[in-house]
């Protein structure tokens, strides 16, 4: 009887090991069909709390709940077999204490089957990252621009232009690296600072609005596909422009329904004539 090896998903340790080997590829996904299409091409899928804005029309990520993240994490897991899946911990689910963070992260891992969680924060979250990683929960860090802090930072803008800001981001990245994060997202940070951090931390850096020198890149999938068209950040490149195609398809469908040309006979179930 032959034994066939089952291909396993990439693990956080595999992502970490890619530093210095080749660029790491990541995108966000929130649904099963998109995850299925994306899975062969990326190293890890981030189920980002950006779903609050992209899917639910919220003004920021602050209103996203743990239940929302778990539901979409489950959907992405059902659509993927190869990529490492990381699920965001939403605002309010981890900042209060390291114990709360563990309970939230453990629930996410148990209920979704994902491989890791992501949380935002620098030096102030280092103790929490250490607490989680020592207890078997891999953590993807996030420094620089942190969307969950939008109410205190006063808006979305690039950071690191002043010496004070640059040093803060550098120290945040070092703290999260020392705490054991397997990788670190650097968002909305001026290029030289992100480049410098990439060369000094042990964990791979994942850039979004940062630097081509980062060890990998991540973008929001709807931005990549040209579906989310309300706003296009400077760092986004649209690799497709699906919004006009979708609009045309919806218009054509509406026209055919009104004209009674759809559904046609071939779209209906007919009773077979008895012989």
Active-site amino acid positions: 187
* Selection from 161, 160, 89 nearest residue 125 by Cα: 89
Q: What is the dihedral of CA 49, 54, 58, 63, to 10 degrees?
A: -10
> What is the Cα gyration radius of the chain?
21
Annotated binding site for 3-methyl-2-oxobutanoate: 49-50, 88, 118
Burial of 99 (0-12, 13-18, 19+ CB in 10 A): exposed
Annotated binding site: 49-50, 88, 118, 120
Tokens representing 227 are 């579906």
Residue 25 to residue 35: CA distance in whole angstroms: 14
Write the CB contacts of 186 (distance below 8 Å, at least 6 apart in sequence): 143, 144, 169, 173, 194, 197, 198, 205, 206, 207, 208, 210, 211, 214
Annotated binding site for Mg(2+): 49, 88, 120
Residue 116 to residue 107: CA distance in whole angstroms: 11
* Selection from 175, 205, 176 nearest residue 193 by Cα: 205
């Amino acid at each position: 009887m032959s034994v066939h090896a089952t291909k396993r998903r990439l693990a956080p340790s595999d992502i970490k090991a890619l530093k210095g080997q080749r660029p790491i590829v990541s995108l966000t996904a929130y649904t099963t069909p998109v995850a299925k299409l994306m899975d062969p091409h990326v190293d890890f899928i981030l189920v980002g709390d950006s779903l609050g804005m992209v899917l639910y029309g919220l003004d920021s990520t602050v209103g996203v709940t743990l239940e929302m993240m778990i539901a979409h994490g489950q959907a992405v897991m059902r659509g993927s077999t190869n990529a490492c899946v990381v699920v965001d911990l939403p605002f309010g689910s981890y900042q209060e204490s390291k114990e709360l963070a563990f309970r939230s992260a453990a629930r996410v891992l148990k209920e979704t089957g994902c491989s890791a969680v992501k949380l935002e924060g620098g030096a102030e979250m280092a103790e929490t990252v250490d607490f989680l990683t020592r207890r078997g929960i891999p953590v993807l860090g996030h420094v620089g621009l942190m969307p969950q802090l939008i109410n205190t930072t006063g808006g979305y803008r690039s950071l690191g232009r002043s010496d004070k800001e640059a040093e803060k981001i550098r120290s945040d990245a070092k703290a999260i690296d020392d705490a054991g994060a397997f990788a670190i997202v650097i968002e909305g940070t001026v290029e030289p600072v992100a480049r410098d951090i990439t060369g000094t931390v042990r964990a791979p850096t994942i850039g979004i609005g940062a630097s081509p020198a980062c060890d990998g890149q991540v973008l929001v999938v709807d931005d990549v596909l040209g579906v989310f068209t309300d706003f296009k950040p400077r760092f986004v490149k649209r690799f497709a422009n699906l919004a006009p195609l979708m609009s045309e398809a919806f218009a054509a469908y509406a026209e055919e329904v009104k004209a009674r040309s759809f559904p046609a006979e071939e779209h209906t179930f007919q009773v077979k004539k008895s012989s």
